[in-house]
Structure 1
């Protein structure tokens, strides 16, 4: 839940425009990657269905982090396009 809130906050910051979204996007993606790595480590110590569930959750975190980072970058591109069009 904390990661989702962090992603939402970074998305809002990205909407402000400028290059700050690059760091925000990177930070959000790294936070999700760190959680995924922790899940992978837990999966290494598990077996069977539990191991598979943990690995699946790790993959979901990675995809979510990538999507959140892309959304932050997209918000900045969209805000620049609307500013340039005025």
Structure 2
């Protein structure tokens, strides 16, 4: 009987800790979401600039021939 009681208390304590951990997770605010979107946009723009630079280099090499 005592073992069951101890096991029940342990399970209850673990459940409470799990709920506490979920409740403590930091929620993402609007500024953080906006910042992530800005980062993604900048990364995409950088990739496009690199592609444009490669095209310019290829065109310059073709013009030399």
Q: Normalising by the residue count of structure 2, what TM-score does the alignment of the two structures yield?
A: 0.50
1:76 to 49, 55, 59: 55
1:63 aligns with 2:42: yes
C-alpha root-mean-square deviation of aligned residues, in Å? 1.8
1:52 aligns with 2:31: yes
Ranges in structure 2 where 5+ consecutive residues have no aligned partner: 1-26
Where in structure 1 do 4 or more consecutive aligned residues deviate above 3 Å? Answer: none
Ranges in structure 1 where 5+ consecutive residues have no aligned partner: 1-47
Q: Relative CO higher for 1 or 2, CA cutoff 8 Å, sep ≥ 6?
A: 1
Secondary structure class of the residue paired with 2:39: helix
Q: Normalising by the residue count of structure 1, what TM-score does the alignment of the two structures yield?
A: 0.39
Residues of 1 paired with 2:30 and 2:44: CA distance? 21
Cα-to-partner distance string for 1:17-50 (whole Å, 9 max, x where unaligned): xxxxxxxxxxxxxxxxxxxxxxxxxxxxxxx852
Residues of 1 paired with 2:58 and 2:46: CA distance? 18
Secondary structure class of the residue paired with 2:62: helix
